[in-house]
């Protein structure tokens, strides 16, 4: 085990995949000479050279298109999108091209691209550089999508994403890049796609979270003596671990979902609908989603922190759910806003 | 027809100008037949035919290797046939049957043949341009002598993917040939309404690569131009933009009667019809004897009849085909 930051874990995963497979290539804006705007590819150019590690022009559509063509012809390209918002100008390449190649070729072509993008609020980048946008990708069968929650998750999921024969989008909470943790590297550190991970045991409620919210959910769970929460890191958003989540919730009888994204059409909406339908009559409380409000991410420091679920708020929401058996209003209702 | 027949069709076009002529005749007759089937209501959905553009298709197919990857557009029946796909697998796809090249789950806009080097054809304008550059990147990283071909329309020269793709291919010196089929129209808009310059080849200058205008109605010139650009690409000389001046005889898609065309325009282009002029040339060179052209017409007609029959005997697209290839197995 090695202690490292999440951005170092990303770089370590890239380097290990590149050592094992000469077809893995890395490109994106400032990823080579500078080692990445968030230092997620530090050292790769030096070790693997300019053919496999390339700086691109500011051409997201162009270089993701190249990734698609390179993947279909045998390489394993890993393309970096600096901020998830920049994927907007290139979404076609992921959703409509990469995600359809296998289907449109009757299985003859695969398109194993890995698209890494930093996501999320908390660092004062303003509303055009702080979203998560996972639902851009969630209506496109053919794609897989994971969300990183820390150094081990970064190392393990990224390695699986690169090895997967399908296009995989890897969402990396920017606010976590600097966070340190112990990382098991090598084959033992690889985490399979499609499996949620239980990060805390508990009996009264199952809290499903992803990305930066895993830490928030854990802290919220630690803070209460009145109830014990099982915390699950969903890890893979598409295809998500239906069986794992349903069996966990069946045991505790309560489901709380913590998401760093607006309330409407979050990934948690799908989970709430699925689990609610499957476990109708077995649940001891309605499904509670704890999310951000339906507003663009605000800039001011205090407001930005308030915008996202934080541990105190999550604990309070779960307290209310358990005390009343009803879904509490989100904080903004107290500010006179509609739920 | 099996795999070997498709390869044989490819080899024929690569080796022999008379075979290229026959393939052009086949493409024309195929497209006419497809339009007929649509207007008879025997096919659903939409289709985009390429009558008038046959010389571009065979010129490309004659010049590329089967290990080169080709990206092309939804107006792809002609290029598919030229590359060696059989009428029955393309018609089968157009008609949504199991015999189709993708099992009938994709349709007219999405043809694919991996062995012949055809990536799933693109229905999003310009998307195939950077994808072709990506296939060329594979050749460069692996050090093979493969190249890639990106075929697109004149309308695609105004979308970002064109500029991003050419710029990237230029700075990385990738072995790719970009081929713009300038058929004078993007949907219902004549090119001068959407594009401020006459020659799209001029745009190559912005990326520091050669931009060459080619007579897209002459299969000898299209073949020579693609061959020369591929040779440059394979020898490390980087990308080339070829603008093939051609003309779309039919409307944009099945329902379009192309009434927006100025009077006399079609007739002027038809005077240089690629099939008629090539036939005259082959006859004057003695490669087509009297009666040969008629025999070719009959052979093609019989082949298309047989193809239609095979398609009609094929079951419709299956549920297995729909679910079977969403994710590649890990
Ligand atoms: C990004 C995008 N915008 C619009 C369309 C709709 N559309 C389909 S074909 C077409 C015209 C394209 O013209 P051109 O590139 O000249 O090709 P041609 O049809 O003439 O072969 C348009 C606008 C599309 N498919 N993709
Ligand atoms: Mg056109």
pLDDT digits (tens, 9 = 90+) for B296-306: 999 999 999 99
What are the distances in angstroms from CA A149 to CA A175, A189, A263, A309, B117?
Answer: 10, 15, 20, 15, 41
DSSP B45: S
Selected residues 160-179 of chain A with any CB under 8 Å from a CB in chain B? 163-166
**Residues of A classed as catalytic:** 129
**Does B137 sit within 8 Å of A70, measured CB to CB?**
yes
Place B289 in a pLDDT band, splitting at 50, 70 and 90: very high
Average confidence score pLDDT of chain A: 98
Instruction: Assign B240 to helix, strand or coil.
Output: strand
What is the model's pLDDT at position B161?
Answer: 98
Q: How many angstroms separate the alpha carbon of residue B187 from the centre of ligand 2?
A: 7
Residue B3 has pLDDT above 70, yes or no: no
The protein residue whose alpha carbon is closest to atom 12 in ligand 1 is B186
**pLDDT for A171-182, tens place per residue?**
999 999 999 999
Place B89 in a pLDDT band, splitting at 50, 70 and 90: very high
CA B73/CA B110 separation, integer angstroms: 8
The mean per-residue pLDDT over the stretch A218-239 comes to: 97
Minimum-distance ligand 1 atom for the alpha carbon of B157: 15
Q: How many angstroms separate the alpha carbon of residue A89 from the centre of ligand 2?
A: 24
Minimum-distance ligand 1 atom for the alpha carbon of B75: 21
Question: By the 8 A CB rule, do A148 and A158 touch?
Answer: yes
**pLDDT for A110-121, tens place per residue?**
999 999 999 999
What are the distances in angstroms from CA A213 to CA A123, A177, A235, A242?
Answer: 15, 14, 11, 19
CB-based contacts of B204-208 (< 8 A; 24+ apart in sequence): B204/B166, B204/B240, B204/B241, B206/B163, B206/B166, B207/B166, B207/B167, B207/B169, B207/B170, B207/B239, B207/B241, B208/B170
What is the model's pLDDT at position B129?
Answer: 98
What are the distances in angstroms from CA B110 to CA A229, A258, B247?
Answer: 50, 41, 22
DSSP B122: B
Place B254 in a pLDDT band, splitting at 50, 70 and 90: confident
Residue B99 has pLDDT above 70, yes or no: yes
Does the beta carbon of A96 lie under 8 angstroms from any beta carbon of chain B? yes
What is the model's pLDDT at position A339?
Answer: 85
Give the other-Cβ count within 10 Å of A177's Cβ: 22
Does the beta carbon of A77 lie under 8 angstroms from any beta carbon of chain B? yes
Minimum-distance ligand 1 atom for the alpha carbon of B181: 21
The mean per-residue pLDDT over the stretch B230-244 comes to: 98
- Which residue of chain B comes nearest to A73, CA vs CA? B135
Show the beta-strand stretches assigned E in B93-210: 148-153, 176-182, 185-186, 189-190
Place B2 in a pLDDT band, splitting at 50, 70 and 90: low
pLDDT > 70 fraction of chain A, expressed in percent and rounded: 100
CA A221/CA A201 separation, integer angstroms: 10
**pLDDT for A305-325, tens place per residue?**
999 999 999 999 999 999 999
A63 contacts in chain B (CB < 8 Å): 130, 164, 168
The mean per-residue pLDDT over the stretch B199-205 comes to: 98
**Does A62 sit within 8 Å of B130, measured CB to CB?**
yes
**pLDDT for A120-160, tens place per residue?**
999 999 999 999 999 999 999 999 999 999 999 999 999 99
**Does A70 sit within 8 Å of B135, measured CB to CB?**
yes
CA B104/CA B95 separation, integer angstroms: 7
Place B12 in a pLDDT band, splitting at 50, 70 and 90: very high
Number of A–B residue contacts, CB under 8 Å: 156
Structural domains in chain A plus CATH codes = 2-189 (3.40.50.970), 197-335 (3.40.50.920)
- Report the C-alpha dihedral over residues A250, A252, A253, A258, rounded to 10 degrees: -100
Ligand located closest to B122 CA: 1
Does the beta carbon of A75 lie under 8 angstroms from any beta carbon of chain B? yes
**pLDDT for A59-81, tens place per residue?**
999 999 999 999 999 999 999 99
The mean per-residue pLDDT over the stretch A279-307 comes to: 97
Question: How close does chain B come to A153, measured CA to CA in Å?
Answer: 19
Question: How close does chain B come to A77, measured CA to CA in Å?
Answer: 10
Range of the domain at B305: 3-252+264-322
Question: How close does chain B come to A18, measured CA to CA in Å?
Answer: 13
Does the beta carbon of A252 lie under 8 angstroms from any beta carbon of chain B? no
Does the beta carbon of B158 lie under 8 angstroms from any beta carbon of chain A? no
DSSP A93: I
Tokens of B39: 């207007």
DSSP B326: S
Minimum-distance ligand 1 atom for the alpha carbon of B183: 20
The mean per-residue pLDDT over the stretch B242-251 comes to: 97
Does the beta carbon of A78 lie under 8 angstroms from any beta carbon of chain B? no
Domain contains B313 = yes
Q: Computed from CA positions of residues A47, A50, A53, A54, in that sequence, does the dihedral angle turn out positive or negative? A: positive
Please list, residue by residue across A15-46, b when 16 or more beta carbons sit within 10 angstroms of its beta carbon and e when fewer do. bbbbeeeebbbbbbbbbbeebbbbbbbbebbe
Does the beta carbon of B137 lie under 8 angstroms from any beta carbon of chain A? yes
A141 contacts in chain B (CB < 8 Å): 326
ipTM over 0.90: yes
**Does B106 sit within 8 Å of A72, measured CB to CB?**
no
CATH value at residue B70: 3.40.50.970
Task: Give the total number of structural domains in chain B.
Answer: 1
The helix (run of H) or strand (run of E) holding residue A223 is none
The helix (run of H) or strand (run of E) holding residue A26 is strand A24-28
- Report the C-alpha dihedral over residues A19, A20, A23, A26, rounded to 10 degrees: -40
Determine which of B109, B133, B137 to mutate to test the interface with A (most A C-beta atoms within 10 Å). B137
The mean per-residue pLDDT over the stretch A193-218 comes to: 98
**Does B325 sit within 8 Å of A106, measured CB to CB?**
yes
Residue B260 has pLDDT above 90, yes or no: yes
Burial class (CB in 10 A: 0-12, 13-18, 19+), B292: middle
What is the model's pLDDT at position A55?
Answer: 98
**Does A70 sit within 8 Å of B138, measured CB to CB?**
yes
B89 contacts in chain A (CB < 8 Å): none
Q: What is the pairing mode between strands A76-81 and A114-119?
A: parallel
What is the model's pLDDT at position B4?
Answer: 76
The mean per-residue pLDDT over the stretch B104-122 comes to: 97
**Does A67 sit within 8 Å of B135, measured CB to CB?**
no
The mean per-residue pLDDT over the stretch A100-107 comes to: 98
Residue B255 has pLDDT above 90, yes or no: no
Average confidence score pLDDT of chain B: 97
What is the model's pLDDT at position B63?
Answer: 98
Residue A56 has pLDDT above 70, yes or no: yes
A169 preceded by a cis bond (ω within 30 of 0): no
Residue B215 has pLDDT above 70, yes or no: yes
Domain contains B329 = no
Place B170 in a pLDDT band, splitting at 50, 70 and 90: very high
Residues with CB under 5 A from ligand 2 (ion): B 153-154, 183, 185-186
The mean per-residue pLDDT over the stretch B91-120 comes to: 98
What is the model's pLDDT at position A118?
Answer: 98
Domain contains B330 = no
Q: How many angstroms separate the alpha carbon of residue A66 from the centre of ligand 2?
A: 23
Ligand located closest to B125 CA: 1
The protein residue whose alpha carbon is closest to atom 3 in ligand 1 is B125
Residue B1 has pLDDT above 60, yes or no: no
Minimum-distance ligand 1 atom for the alpha carbon of B124: 26
Domain contains B328 = no
Domain contains B104 = yes
Selected residues 307-326 of chain B with any CB under 8 Å from a CB in chain A? 321, 324-326
The mean per-residue pLDDT over the stretch B264-284 comes to: 98
Spatial CB neighbours of B320, under 8 Å, sequence gap ≥ 6: none
A23 contacts in chain B (CB < 8 Å): 141-142
């Amino acid at each position: 085990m090695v202690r490292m930051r999440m951005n170092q874990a990303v770089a370590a995963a890239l380097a290990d995949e590149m050592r094992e497979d000469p077809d893995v290539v890395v490109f994106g804006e400032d990823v080579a000479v500078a080692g990445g705007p968030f230092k997620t590819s530090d050292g790769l150019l030096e070790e693997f050279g300019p053919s496999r590690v390339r700086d691109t022009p500011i051409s997201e559509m162009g270089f993701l298109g190249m990734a698609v063509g390179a993947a279909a012809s045998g390489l394993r390209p890993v393309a970096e999108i600096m901020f998830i918002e920049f994927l907007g100008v290139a979404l076609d390449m992921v959703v409509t091209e990469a995600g359809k190649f296998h289907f449109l070729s009757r299985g003859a072509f695969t398109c194993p691209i890995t698209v890494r993008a930093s996501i999320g609020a908390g660092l004062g980048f303003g509303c055009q550089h702080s979203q998560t946008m996972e639902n851009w990708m969630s209506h496109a069968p053919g794609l897989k999508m994971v969300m990183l929650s820390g150094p081990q998750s970064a190392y393990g999921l990224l390695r699986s994403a690169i090895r997967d024969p399908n296009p995989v989008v890897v969402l990396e909470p920017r606010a976590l890049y600097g966070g340190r943790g112990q990382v098991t590297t090598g084959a033992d550190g690889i985490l399979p796609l499609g499996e949620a991970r239980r990060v805390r045991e508990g009996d009264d409620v199952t809290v499903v979270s992803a990305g930066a919210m895993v830490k928030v959910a854990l802290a919220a769970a630690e803070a209460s003596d009145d109830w014990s929460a099982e915390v699950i890191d969903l890890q893979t958003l598409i295809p998500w671990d239906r069986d794992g989540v349903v069996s966990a919730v069946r045991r505790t009888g309560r489901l709380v979902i913590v998401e760093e994204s607006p309330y409407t059409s979050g990934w948690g909406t799908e989970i709430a609908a699925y689990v609610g339908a499957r476990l109708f009559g077995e649940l001891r409380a309605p499904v509670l989603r704890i999310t951000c409000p339906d507003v663009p991410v605000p800039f001011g420091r205090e407001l930005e922190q308030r915008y996202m679920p934080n541990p105190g708020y999550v604990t309070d929401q779960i307290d209310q759910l358990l005390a009343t058996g009803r879904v509490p209003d989100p904080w903004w209702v107290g500010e006179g806003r509609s739920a | 027809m099996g795999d070997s027949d498709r390869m044989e069709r490819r080899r024929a076009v690569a080796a022999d100008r008379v075979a290229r002529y026959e393939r052009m005749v086949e493409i024309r007759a195929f497209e006419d037949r497809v339009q007929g089937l649509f207007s008879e209501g025997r096919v659903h959905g939409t289709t985009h035919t390429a009558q008038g553009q046959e010389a571009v298709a065979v010129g490309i197919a004659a010049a590329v290797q089967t290990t080169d990857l080709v990206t092309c557009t939804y107006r792809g029946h002609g290029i598919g046939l030229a590359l060696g796909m059989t009428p029955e697998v393309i018609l089968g796809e157009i008609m949504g049957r199991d015999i189709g090249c993708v099992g009938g789950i994709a349709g007219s806009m999405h043809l694919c043949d991996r062995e012949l080097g055809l990536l799933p054809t693109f229905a999003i304008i310009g998307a195939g341009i950077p994808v072709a550059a990506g296939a060329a990147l594979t050749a460069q990283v692996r050090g093979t002598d493969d190249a890639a071909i990106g075929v697109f329309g004149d309308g695609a020269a105004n979308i970002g993917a064109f500029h991003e793709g050419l710029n990237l291919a230029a700075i990385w010196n990738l072995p790719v040939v970009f081929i713009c089929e300038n058929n004078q129209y993007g949907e219902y808009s004549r090119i001068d309404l959407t594009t401020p310059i006459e020659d799209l080849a001029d745009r190559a200058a912005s990326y520091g690569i050669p931009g060459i205008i080619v007579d897209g109605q002459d299969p000898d010139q299209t073949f020579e131009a693609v061959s020369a650009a591929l040779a440059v690409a394979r020898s490390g000389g980087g990308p080339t933009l070829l603008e093939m001046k051609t003309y779309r005889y039919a409307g944009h898609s099945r329902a379009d009667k192309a009434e927006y065309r100025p009077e006399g325009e079609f007739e002027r282009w038809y005077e240089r019809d690629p099939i008629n002029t090539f036939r005259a040339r082959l006859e004057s060179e003695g490669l087509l004897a009297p009666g040969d052209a008629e025999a070719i017409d009959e052979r093609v007609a019989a082949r298309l009849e047989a193809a239609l029959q095979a398609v009609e005997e094929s079951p419709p697209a299956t549920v297995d085909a729909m679910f079977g290839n969403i994710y590649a197995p890990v």
